[in-house]
C-alpha cells in the first residue's frame, strides 16, 4: 500500500508541471521495464542496442531536434520549418537512469520482477527532477525492506534537517546570487561594455549561485528520500575544495560523472588503447557531457574546455608519477597553488557555461582578460564583494551537509577518494536536541520564509538539463 502511494505521489508530482507528459513518462517506463525483463532472461545484445537506441532517440527528439534544425538552416542557408518541441521536464534524468537499468540487466547485475518497484525506481519524486541518477541495484534492496515505509523519528529528523539546509541554500543563497549574476551576463549578450571588475563579479556570483543551487537541490532530494527511509547516493561533495580538475569531477554531480565513466568512457575504450586513445575518449566524453547539459554550442564548448583540462591534468600526473613523485604528498604551497589554479579554471569555465551565445562568451572572456581596460570602477559594489568573501569562506572551510550529518549516514557514499575532513567539523557536527543546532535550523527556516515572501525571483537552472 505504501509503495503504491509513493508511486502515485511521484506521478502526481511530475504531472503537476504538465499532465500530458505523464503518458510519455509512463510509456518510457513500460518500454524499459519490458526490455529489462527480456534482457534478464535472454541477455540478447540486440535487445540492449534497441533499448538504448530507443531511449536516446526519444531524448534526441525532444531535446536536440530544434537545435539540429537551426544549425542546418544556418549552415546551408535552408529554411526548414519544424514545430517547436517543448522539452519534457527531467527527460535526461529518467532516460539515463533507465539506460543504466538496461545495461545492468544485460550484464546480469539487475533483475526486476515488481512493476511497482520499477516505477518507484524511475519516478521517485525527490530525485526525479534534478537527480541524483541512481542505479537499480542501489535502490531495489531498499524498496524490498518491509520496514522501509514506516515513519521513524531519526529518519524524519535527519531527512528534515538535510532538506531545510538544502532549501536554504537554494532559496536564500543561490537565488540571492542570481540578482548579481544575471544582469552581468545579460549585458554580455548585448554589448562589449563590461569592465574587468564587472565581468569577474558576475562570473564569481554565478559560480556561487550554481554551487548552492545544485548543492541545495541535492540536499533536498536526499533529505526527502531519507524522510521516507530511502538513502540516496551523494551527488555533491564540496567540489570547490578540489585541487585538480580530476578531483572536481569526482565531487561535482557525482552520479552523472559515474554514468559517463561507466556507460560512455569505458565502453568507448577508456584507457585501454594507449595515451592517445585515452585522451580521445576523455575529450569525446566531456563533449557529449557538455551537450547533455543543453542544446547549445556554449555547453559543447564548456564540455570541450573541461575535456582539455582533464587531459592536461592526467598528463601532468603521468609526468609526476614517472619522476617518482607521490601524488598524495604535496607541501602547503603546492596544495594552495593547485587549488587556486583549479578554482580559476572552474570560474572561467562557468562563464562559458552561463553565456547564452558565442558572442556572449567572447564578450565575457574579453572583459575577464582585461581587454576592455583595467580601470578601477568609480562605484564599487562593496555588498557583492562582501557576500562573495563570505561564500568563499563557507565553501572552502565549512563542512558539507554530508559531513555535518555524517554520524547518521545521510546518503550513500560513492566518492571513493581520499578526503581530508573539514577542520571545523568538530564545531558543526550535528547533535540532535542541541540548543545551538536547533536555533541554527530555526534561523534558516525564518530566513527561507522571509525570502519566499519577498519579490525575489527564483530560477530553475536544471530545466534545460
Q: What's the chain's length in residues?
A: 465
Mean pLDDT of all residues in 433-439: 77
* pLDDT tens digits, one per residue of 49-69: 999 999 999 998 888 888 888
The pLDDT value given to residue 326? 67
The pLDDT value given to residue 408? 79
Residue 22, in any domain of the structure = yes
139 with 27, same domain: the answer is yes
- Ranges 208-217, 329-338, 359-368: which has the least confidence: 329-338
The pLDDT value given to residue 71? 82
447 with 355, same domain: the answer is yes
Phi/psi of residue 236, nearest 5 degrees = -160, 120
* pLDDT tens digits, one per residue of 278-323: 899 999 999 999 998 888 899 999 999 999 999 999 988 888 787 7
Residue 458, in any domain of the structure = no
Question: Rounded mean pLDDT of the chain?
Answer: 85
The candidate with the shortest Cα–Cα distance to 171, out of 464, 463, 454, is: 454
The pLDDT value given to residue 74? 78
295 with 392, same domain: the answer is yes
318 with 408, same domain: the answer is yes
* pLDDT tens digits, one per residue of 125-154: 888 877 788 888 888 778 777 666 677 888
Cβ neighbours for 430, distance < 8 A, ≥ 6 positions apart:
161, 404, 405, 407, 408, 437
352 with 293, same domain: the answer is yes
- To which residue does cell 521495464 refer? 33
The pLDDT value given to residue 139? 83
The pLDDT value given to residue 149? 63
* pLDDT tens digits, one per residue of 197-228: 889 999 999 999 999 999 999 999 999 989 88
99 with 226, same domain: the answer is no
236 with 377, same domain: the answer is yes
Residue 460, in any domain of the structure = no
Residue 465, in any domain of the structure = no
Mean pLDDT of all residues in 6-14: 87
Residue 463, in any domain of the structure = no
CA atoms within 13 A on the CB side of 19: 0
311 with 386, same domain: the answer is yes
pLDDT at 107 exceeding the cut of 60: yes
CB 270 within 8 A of CB 278: yes
DSSP 57-119: HHHHHHHHHHHHHHHHHHHH------PPPPPPTTHHHHHHHHHHHHHHHHTTS-----HHHHH
- Give dist(CA 99, CA 264) in Å, integer: 11
**b vs e for 346-361, b when ≥16 Cβ sit within 10 Å of the residue's Cβ?**
bbbbbbbbbbeeeebb
136 with 161, same domain: the answer is no
3-state SS of the chain: helix, strand, coil percent to 5? 70, 0, 30
Q: How many domains does the chain have?
A: 2
Residue 318, in any domain of the structure = yes
Structural domain that includes position 27: 2-143
The pLDDT value given to residue 385? 84
Quick one: DSSP state of residue 252? B
159 with 299, same domain: the answer is yes
The pLDDT value given to residue 211? 95
**b vs e for 133-144, b when ≥16 Cβ sit within 10 Å of the residue's Cβ?**
bbbbebbbebbe
The pLDDT value given to residue 417? 60
The pLDDT value given to residue 398? 84
Mean pLDDT of all residues in 363-367: 93
pLDDT at 70 exceeding the cut of 90: no
The pLDDT value given to residue 146? 64
112 with 166, same domain: the answer is no
For residues 418, 278, 71 and 18, what is the CA-based torsion angle, rounded to 10 degrees?
Answer: -40
- Give dist(CA 236, CA 100) in Å, integer: 20
Residue 63, in any domain of the structure = yes
Its pTM stands at 0.89
256 with 370, same domain: the answer is yes
Which residues are identified as catalytic? Answer: 293
Residue 109, in any domain of the structure = yes
**Higher per-residue confidence, 324 vs 233:** 233
Cβ neighbours for 401, distance < 8 A, ≥ 6 positions apart:
162, 165, 166, 215, 219, 410
* pLDDT tens digits, one per residue of 368-380: 998 887 766 556 6
Amino acid at each position: 500500500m505504501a509503495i503504491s502511494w509513493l508511486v502515485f505521489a511521484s506521478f502526481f508530482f511530475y504531472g503537476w508541471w504538465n499532465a500530458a507528459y505523464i503518458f510519455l513518462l509512463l510509456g518510457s517506463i513500460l518500454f524499459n521495464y519490458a526490455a529489462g525483463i527480456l534482457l534478464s532472461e535472454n541477455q540478447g545484445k540486440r535487445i540492449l542496442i534497441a533499448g538504448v537506441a530507443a531511449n536516446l532517440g526519444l531524448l534526441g527528439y525532444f531535446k536536440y531536434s530544434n537545435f539540429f534544425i537551426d544549425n542546418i538552416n544556418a549552415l546551408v542557408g535552408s529554411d526548414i520549418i519544424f514545430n517547436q518541441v517543448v522539452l519534457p521536464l527531467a527527460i535526461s534524468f529518467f532516460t539515463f537512469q533507465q539506460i543504466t537499468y538496461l545495461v545492468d540487466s544485460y550484464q546480469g547485475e539487475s533483475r526486476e520482477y515488481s512493476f511497482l518497484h520499477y516505477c518507484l525506481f524511475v519516478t521517485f519524486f525527490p530525485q526525479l527532477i534534478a537527480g541524483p541518477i541512481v542505479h537499480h541495484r542501489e535502490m531495489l534492496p531498499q524498496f524490498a525492506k518491509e520496514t522501509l515505509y514506516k515513519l521513524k523519528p531519526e529518519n524524519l529528523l535527519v531527512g528534515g534537517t538535510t532538506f531545510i539546509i538544502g532549501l536554504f541554500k537554494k532559496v536564500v543563497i543561490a537565488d540571492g546570487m542570481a540578482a548579481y549574476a544575471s544582469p552581468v551576463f545579460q549585458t554580455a549578450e548585448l554589448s562589449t561594455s563590461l569592465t574587468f571588475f564587472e565581468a569577474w563579479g558576475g562570473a564569481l556570483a554565478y559560480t556561487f549561485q550554481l554551487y548552492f543551487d545544485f548543492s541545495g537541490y541535492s540536499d533536498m532530494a536526499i533529505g526527502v528520500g531519507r524522510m521516507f527511509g530511502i538513502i540516496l547516493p551523494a551527488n555533491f561533495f564540496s567540489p570547490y575544495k578540489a585541487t585538480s580538475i580530476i578531483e572536481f569531477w569526482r565531487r561535482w554531480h557525482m552520479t552523472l560523472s559515474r554514468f559517463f565513466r561507466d556507460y560512455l568512457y569505458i565502453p568507448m575504450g577508456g584507457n585501454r588503447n594507449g595515451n592517445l586513445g585515452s585522451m580521445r575518449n576523455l575529450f569525446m566524453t566531456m563533449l557529449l557531457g557538455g551537450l547533455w547539459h543543453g542544446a547549445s554550442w556554449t555547453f559543447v564548448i564548456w564540455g570541450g574546455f573541461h575535456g582539455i583540462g582533464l587531459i592536461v591534468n592526467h598528463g601532468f600526473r603521468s609526468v609526476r608519477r614517472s619522476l617518482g613523485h607521490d601524488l598524495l604528498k604535496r607541501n602547503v604551497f603546492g596544495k594552495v597553488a593547485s587549488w587556486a589554479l583549479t578554482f580559476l579554471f572552474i570560474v572561467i569555465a562557468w562563464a562559458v557555461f552561463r553565456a547564452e551565445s558565442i558572442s556572449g562568451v567572447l564578450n565575457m572572456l574579453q572583459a575577464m582578460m582585461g581587454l576592455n581596460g583595467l580601470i578601477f570602477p568609480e562605484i564599487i559594489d562593496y555588498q557583492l564583494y562582501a557576500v562573495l568573501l563570505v561564500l568563499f569562506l563557507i565553501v572552502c572551510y565549512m563542512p558539507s551537509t554530508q559531513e555535518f550529518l555524517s554520524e547518521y549516514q545521510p546518503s550513500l557514499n560513492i566518492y571513493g577518494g581520499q578526503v581530508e575532513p573539514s577542520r571545523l567539523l568538530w564545531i558543526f557536527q550535528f547533535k540532535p536536541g542541541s540548543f545551538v543546532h536547533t536555533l541554527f535550523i530555526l534561523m534558516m527556516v525564518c530566513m527561507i520564509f522571509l525570502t519566499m515572501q519577498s519579490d525575489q525571483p527564483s530560477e530553475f537552472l536544471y530545466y534545460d538539463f
